[in-house]
C-alpha cells in the first residue's frame, strides 16, 4: 500500500525543485506576457505585413508540441553558436510558446473594446503608444485577465517538460527521489501537491489582479 | 556540419513513418477511449447521480491541475509499483491520455448540455417522451453542435500532448526525432521536420473539424428555424 511517511525526509530536495519551478515560471510569465502583448498589438495594428507575421507566429507555436520546441532550442541553438543553459533555454522557449496564447487572449480583449473610447483618446492628441499603454491594454485586461490566468496556470504545468533538458525543477527532482526510494507512486502523488500550491497561489494573484483592474467598473458590468 | 555523422539515410524516413504511425495509433485509441468515458462521466454528472459525480469531478480536477508528464510517470512508474502490475510504455501512455481526455470531455459534455434551452426539455417531458428518447432526439444533436468547436480544439491540443509519451519510452514521432538527432547531430533539420509533421497533423484535424462544425452547425440552424 501507499506509504507517504518517507516523503517528509526528502522535503528539502522537493523544496529546491519547487523554488526552481517557481523561478522559471515567474520569468516565463513575464517573458510571455511582454511577447504576447507585442504580438497582440501587431495583430490589431491594421498593417497587413505585421498582422500576417503575427498570425504565422501564433499558428506555428500553438500547433507544434512544446517538447519539440524545447529540443530544437536546447540542441539546435548551440549549433548556431548560441550557448545558453537549460534554465534560460526553458524561459526563452516557454516565453515564445506561451506568448502565442497570450497574444490571442489579449487580442480578444482588445477587439471587445468600444471603438469610441479609442477614438476619444486619439482626439485628445495622445500618442499611439500612450493610447495603447494607458487606455487599450488596461481595458483589454479587465476582460482578458481570467483567461490569461488559465494560460499562465498551463505555463506552470508545462515547466515540468523542462526536466527533459536537465533542468532540476520539481519533476526532475522527483525522478531522482523516486529512483532512490523505490516509491514512485508516493513521490509523484506528492509533487502534484506542490504543483497544486503553485497554481493555487497564481489563481489567487489573478483574482486580486482582476478585482484591481475592475475597480472602476460599475456593479452590473 | 556535425561530427562523426553519416548524414540522413533512407532508413531515417522509415523510422519517421513508424514514429508517425505510433503517434497516430496512440492518439486514436486514447481519444476513442477518452471520449467514450468522458461522455459517460458527463452524463452521470448531468443526471446527478449522488457521490459518483463528486468523486469524478475531484479526479478530473486532479488531472487538469497537474502536469501530464507527471501523470505519465505516476501511471508508468507509480501505478505499476503500487499495484504490482507490469505496464508497457504504450499502455501507460494510453491510460494517461485517455483519462486526461475524459476529464476535459466531461466538462465539454456538461457545458454543452446545459447550453440547451430548458423549455425544450420541459416541452418534451410534457409530451410524455421518456428520458432516453429526449437524450437521443433533443439533447444529443444539439449538444453535439455546441460541443463541436470545443472538441476540435481539445483534439488538436491532445495531439500535441502525445509528444510527451516519448519521455516514458514510447517510440513515437518525438522519440524518433531524438534518435535520429543523436545519430546525425542535425537538430536544425530534425526538429523542424518533426515539428512540421505535428503542425500538418493539427491542420488536418482542424480542417476536418471545421467541415464537421459546418455540417452540425447547419443542422442546428435548421432546428432553430
Interval B76-109: pLDDT, tens: 999 999 999 999 999 999 999 999 999 999 989 9
* List of chain A residues whose C-beta atoms are within 8 Å of the C-beta of residue B187: 71-72, 75-76, 79
Indicate whether B62 pLDDT > 90.
no
Contact B65 A195 (CB under 8 A): yes
Question: What would the grid cell of residue B61 be?
Answer: 480536477
Indicate whether A117 pLDDT > 60.
yes
Question: What would the grid cell of residue B178 be?
Answer: 531524438
Check residue A5 and give its pLDDT.
79
Check residue A91 and give its pLDDT.
97
CA angle B81, B79, B88 (to 5 degrees): 90
Check residue B157 and give its pLDDT.
95
Mean pLDDT of chain A: 92
> Does the beta carbon of B203 lie under 8 angstroms from any beta carbon of chain A?
yes
Residues of A (139-198) whose Cβ lies below 8 Å from B? 153, 157-161, 163-164, 171, 174-175, 178, 182-189, 191-192, 195-196
Determine the length of chain A: 221
> Does the beta carbon of B81 lie under 8 angstroms from any beta carbon of chain A?
yes
Count CB-CB contacts under 10 A for residue B90: 18
Check residue B225 and give its pLDDT.
44
Check residue B7 and give its pLDDT.
81
Question: What would the grid cell of residue A139 be?
Answer: 481595458
How many whole angstroms separate alpha carbon B30 and alpha carbon B96?
8
> Does the beta carbon of A72 lie under 8 angstroms from any beta carbon of chain B?
yes
Check residue B173 and give its pLDDT.
97
Check residue B5 and give its pLDDT.
53
For the stretch B118-177, pLDDT in tens is 888 888 888 888 888 888 888 888 888 889 999 999 999 999 999 999 999 999 999 999
Confidence of residue B45 (pLDDT cuts 50, 70, 90): confident
Q: What DSSP state is assigned to residue A220? A: T
CB B90 within 8 A of CB B26: yes
CB pairs under 8 A between A and B: 119
Q: Is B222 helix (H, G, I), strand (E, B) or coil?
A: helix
Contact A68 B77 (CB under 8 A): no
For the stretch A137-196, pLDDT in tens is 999 999 999 999 999 999 999 999 999 999 999 999 999 999 999 899 999 999 998 999
Of A33, A156, A99, A65, the closest CA to residue B65 belongs to A156
Check residue A220 and give its pLDDT.
47
* List of chain A residues whose C-beta atoms are within 8 Å of the C-beta of residue B162: 65
pTM: 0.90
Check residue A221 and give its pLDDT.
44
Indicate whether A42 pLDDT > 80.
yes
Sign of the C-alpha dihedral, residues B97, B100, B102, B108?
A: negative
Mean pLDDT of chain B: 89
What ipTM describes this predicted complex?
0.91
The shortest CB-CB distance from A161 to any of B66, B69, B203 is to B69
Check residue B221 and give its pLDDT.
55
> Does the beta carbon of A25 lie under 8 angstroms from any beta carbon of chain B?
no
Check residue B118 and give its pLDDT.
83
How many whole angstroms separate alpha carbon A108 and alpha carbon B190?
35
Give me the DSSP letters along B156-216: HHHHHHGGGGGGGT--SHHHHHHHHHHHH--HHHHHHHHHHHHHHHHHHHHHHHHHHHHHH
Indicate whether B1 pLDDT > 50.
no
For the stretch A51-95, pLDDT in tens is 999 999 999 999 999 999 999 999 998 888 888 999 999 999 999
Count CB-CB contacts under 10 A for residue B157: 15
Check residue A123 and give its pLDDT.
86
Confidence of residue B196 (pLDDT cuts 50, 70, 90): very high
Chosen for mutation from A2, A64, A191 (greatest number of chain B CBs closer than 10 Å) is A64
In Å, how far from its chain's centre is CA B110?
Answer: 17
Confidence of residue B61 (pLDDT cuts 50, 70, 90): confident
The shortest CB-CB distance from A185 to any of B82, B163, B167 is to B82
Amino acid at each position: 500500500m501507499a506509504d507517504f511517511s518517507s516523503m517528509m525526509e526528502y522535503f528539502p530536495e522537493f523544496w529546491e525543485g519547487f523554488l526552481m519551478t517557481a523561478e522559471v515560471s515567474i520569468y516565463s510569465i513575464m517573458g510571455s506576457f511582454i511577447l504576447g502583448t507585442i504580438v497582440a498589438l501587431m495583430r490589431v495594428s491594421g498593417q497587413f505585413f505585421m498582422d500576417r507575421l503575427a498570425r504565422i507566429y501564433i499558428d506555428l507555436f500553438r500547433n507544434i508540441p512544446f517538447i519539440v520546441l524545447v529540443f530544437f532550442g536546447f540542441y539546435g541553438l548551440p549549433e548556431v553558436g548560441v550557448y545558453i543553459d537549460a534554465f534560460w533555454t526553458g524561459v526563452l522557449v516557454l516565453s515564445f510558446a506561451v506568448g502565442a496564447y497570450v497574444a490571442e487572449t489579449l487580442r480578444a480583449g482588445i477587439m471587445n473594446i468600444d471603438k469610441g473610447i479609442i477614438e476619444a483618446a486619439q482626439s485628445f492628441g495622445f500618442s499611439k503608444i500612450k493610447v495603447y499603454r494607458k487606455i487599450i491594454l488596461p481595458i483589454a485586461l479587465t476582460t482578458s485577465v481570467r483567461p490569461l490566468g488559465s494560460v499562465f496556470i498551463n505555463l506552470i504545468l508545462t515547466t515540468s517538460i523542462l526536466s527533459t533538458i536537465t533542468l532540476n525543477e520539481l519533476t526532475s527532482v522527483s525522478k531522482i527521489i523516486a529512483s532512490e526510494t523505490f516509491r514512485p507512486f508516493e513521490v509523484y502523488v506528492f509533487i502534484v501537491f506542490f504543483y497544486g500550491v503553485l497554481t493555487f497561489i497564481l489563481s489567487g494573484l489573478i483574482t486580486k489582479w482582476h478585482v484591481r483592474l475592475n475597480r472602476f467598473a460599475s456593479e452590473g458590468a | 556540419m556535425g561530427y562523426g555523422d553519416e548524414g540522413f539515410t533512407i532508413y531515417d524516413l522509415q523510422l519517421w513513418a513508424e514514429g508517425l504511425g505510433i503517434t497516430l495509433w496512440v492518439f486514436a485509441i486514447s481519444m476513442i477511449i477518452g471520449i467514450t468515458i468522458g461522455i459517460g462521466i458527463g452524463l452521470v454528472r448531468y443526471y446527478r447521480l449522488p457521490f459518483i459525480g463528486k468523486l469524478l469531478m475531484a479526479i478530473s480536477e486532479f488531472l487538469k491541475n497537474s502536469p501530464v508528464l507527471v501523470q505519465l510517470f505516476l501511471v508508468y512508474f507509480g501505478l505499476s509499483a503500487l499495484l504490482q502490475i507490469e505496464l508497457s510504455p504504450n499502455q501507460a501512455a494510453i491510460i494517461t491520455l485517455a483519462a486526461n481526455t475524459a476529464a476535459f470531455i466531461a466538462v465539454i459534455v456538461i457545458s454543452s448540455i446545459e447550453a440547451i434551452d430548458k423549455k425544450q426539455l420541459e416541452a418534451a417531458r410534457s409530451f410524455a417522451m421518456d428520458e432516453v428518447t429526449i437524450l437521443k432526439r433533443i439533447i444529443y444533436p444539439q449538444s453535439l453542435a455546441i460541443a463541436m468547436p470545443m472538441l476540435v480544439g481539445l483534439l488538436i491540443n491532445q495531439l500535441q500532448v502525445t509528444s510527451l509519451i516519448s519521455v516514458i519510452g514510447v517510440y513515437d514521432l518525438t522519440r524518433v526525432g531524438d534518435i535520429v538527432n543523436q545519430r546525425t547531430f542535425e537538430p536544425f533539420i530534425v526538429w523542424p521536420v518533426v515539428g512540421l509533421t505535428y503542425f500538418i497533423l493539427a491542420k488536418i484535424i482542424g480542417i476536418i473539424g471545421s467541415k464537421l462544425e459546418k455540417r452540425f452547425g447547419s443542422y442546428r440552424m435548421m432546428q432553430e428555424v
